[in-house]
Structure 1
């Protein structure tokens, strides 16, 4: 398939990002091909990865006009799919200062100008719904202790808060059901706010993920045990969200990576991936977002994470992990992924798609420059 974006054979020539080199001469670039993903008709296969920004009002979780402009700029540039920063589903879900919420009427209302602005620019935007679980502190979680599958503290300090993680409360069965309901309600609230759907954050060692790994989950009820049983909470959250808004509006992010234990990897990555994918199919998921810090890292049998998932998954898959355009294009051409998500480069370059199409150089992301401000 060729369109006007593909007429220049050297469209990516000279483009460099994250030391990925240039794509050279490519006559038909899949990154710029439109694609149907669930209910979303995307104008290209470039996604904005979810990135915590902490620019909401810390007391209310409400976002303001600067957040509207932040996402509008990326939509105006032509991003196919915008996945927002993590948006918490309750006061106890919060794990960083200044993160937005989507559980009060005021919060829902504050997101409406964001979604309206993105849609006016022809964009698609989904809300990443989030609960950090044990990776928090009671001063952030409304004065309550963090929640987790077991009363085991995460290692390290809360990012941007510089206090050690609290030892969480072990969730009762009633707590678990309440949080599942909060995920479903957050998904409904997101649609009410004008979002095109949601991404469930089930990765990186946050609450849903904490149920999946053995050193955070020591339960002996139906939510603990072997990996299949430890996936029960994730399964029930996904089922509830799909029932609330539909499988065609539900994306799930999952990972082996744990924020408080970066060296962690499953003992048998292939068996773990098979177990996850079996559950995804069982609940009727059609779209997943496997997440890794390094897309190219080989984890099993010569395959990277996404290649291993693709061995067992034939649905829509978003790729992420310090991707550069060359790697993304190659993975799209091979059919490993369907959409390529880019993170920090989109913070530093609001005109990322324009620069990519024109083969212009990119501004390098610098946390000292780009972290404190919305650009």
Structure 2
């Protein structure tokens, strides 16, 4: 039994009282319908993984159709989508769980062929990602956002956040990681602007700061959260001064928005890159750490990355930091009752990677609960 670990101790997050600190990571699974409306199968999937007093973060969810929307990924910009998400939040709340919806704008990672009017992708600067995207075609040159357009983009996020609350969610997580729009503004590799949104750390952080402020004002600080990945490397992300850059962001949040639901960091140990195209960056896993950001933020702090490979590390992380929660992805896919399995030291079922991004129930809702 591992019930004495801090991983299974209560913590207050936003407006919710959690019974444990094991979190379902945001995981793209391609199970929405062709109109990006959440399906009953998704309600079953999330309901299976919900636990009394547990926290769940939804898969990345589009805030506008003009963002190169990938097939079968969900949105939160139409009435049909809001209604579909209502069934999911209901299935989760029935089990006593808390759920935040992750809001996603891909920025320069989008594909114009998938936009309603073939709109060119947008980004902080006219710098394209090298190589091919998830659609199999080369990334396009983005159009640099004009300064006067940025408030409109922020307002799109705000409306999506309001839609999420209407759909019954307890809050939203702003996706500012993995080389998508908010992350593109933060990193020196993708932001070469010379206006108020580029250059210095303060300027590159401005978009994220204004976004958090606007969403928090619209739905409440306790319902607003954000996710970062200082060492992701995915989609050409690289910052010249990661500790200073994200240290500034977290310090600003602590000063100006101390009641945020949580701050979520992907640890450098995440093996996402190693499974894709940059194995040469593996050294980052042992040389960098999110601890400086953990020390700044006094509220709930979520860490994720690499815990499936070593679930025992989740106990060590939670026991070491009183305000920390641990988000796990792949192990949660194949073990819908993961909190119980870890708490009772029950064996874990292996996942099938070939079903991660398919469109049916196989490898999605057919994983079994543990029976002795």
* 1:69 pairs with one of 19, 40, 44: 44
Alignment match, 1:144: 119
Equivalent-residue separation in structure 2 for 1:342 and 1:72 (angstroms): 17
1:41 matched to 2:20: no
Alignment match, 1:281: 254
Label 1:316 to 1:299 Cα distance change in 2 as closer, same or farther (>3 A).
farther
* 2:300 pairs with one of 316, 324, 329: 316
Q: Which moved more, 1:288-297 or 1:108-117?
A: 288-297
Alignment match, 1:23: none
* 2:321 pairs with one of 331, 335, 341: 335
Label 1:193 to 1:153 Cα distance change in 2 as closer, same or farther (>3 A).
same
1:100 matched to 2:74: yes
Equivalent-residue separation in structure 2 for 1:90 and 1:350 (angstroms): 30
Equivalent-residue separation in structure 2 for 1:92 and 1:339 (angstroms): 34
Label 1:112 to 1:368 Cα distance change in 2 as closer, same or farther (>3 A).
same
Alignment match, 2:277: none
Which structure 1 residue ranges, 5 or more long, are not aligned? 1-10, 13-26
Equivalent-residue separation in structure 1 for 2:85 and 2:55 (angstroms): 17
Which structure 2 residue ranges, 5 or more long, are not aligned? 272-281, 366-372
Q: Which moved more, 1:287-296 or 1:214-223?
A: 287-296
Is contact 2:10–2:21 with CA below 8 Å preserved after alignment? yes
SS in 2 for 1:205: coil
CA shift digits 1:235-258 (9 cap, x unpaired): 111111100111111111011114
Is contact 1:203–1:258 with CA below 8 Å preserved after alignment? no
CA shift digits 1:207-234 (9 cap, x unpaired): 0010111221111111111121111111
TM-score, normalization by structure 1? 0.86
CA shift digits 1:25-65 (9 cap, x unpaired): xx61211112111212112111000011121123x210110
SS in 1 for 2:192: coil
Is contact 2:189–2:236 with CA below 8 Å preserved after alignment? no
Is contact 1:188–1:244 with CA below 8 Å preserved after alignment? yes
Taking only aligned residues, the RMSD between alpha carbons, in angstroms, comes to: 2.2
Is contact 2:8–2:21 with CA below 8 Å preserved after alignment? yes
Alignment match, 2:207: 233
- Per-residue deviation, 1:299: 6.1
Label 1:197 to 1:298 Cα distance change in 2 as closer, same or farther (>3 A).
farther
* 1:353 pairs with one of 339, 352, 357: 339
Alignment of structure 1 residues 109-258 onto 2, 5 Å: 109-142=83-116, 143-159=118-134, 161-256=135-230, 257-258=232-233
Equivalent-residue separation in structure 1 for 2:10 and 2:251 (angstroms): 29
* 2:267 pairs with one of 267, 288, 292: 292
- Per-residue deviation, 1:306: 2.4
Alignment match, 2:6: 30
- Per-residue deviation, 1:171: 1.0
Is contact 1:96–1:158 with CA below 8 Å preserved after alignment? no
Count of equivalent residues: 345
Q: Which moved more, 1:321-330 or 1:194-203?
A: 321-330
- Per-residue deviation, 1:279: 2.5
- Per-residue deviation, 1:195: 0.4
TM-score, normalization by structure 2? 0.87
SS in 1 for 2:218: helix
Alignment match, 2:290: 306
Equivalent-residue separation in structure 2 for 1:144 and 1:290 (angstroms): 32
Equivalent-residue separation in structure 1 for 2:175 and 2:312 (angstroms): 27
Alignment match, 2:368: none
SS in 2 for 1:134: helix
* 2:330 pairs with one of 344, 354, 363: 344
CA shift digits 1:303-326 (9 cap, x unpaired): 753212123222220011112332
- Per-residue deviation, 1:349: 1.4
- Per-residue deviation, 1:95: 4.6
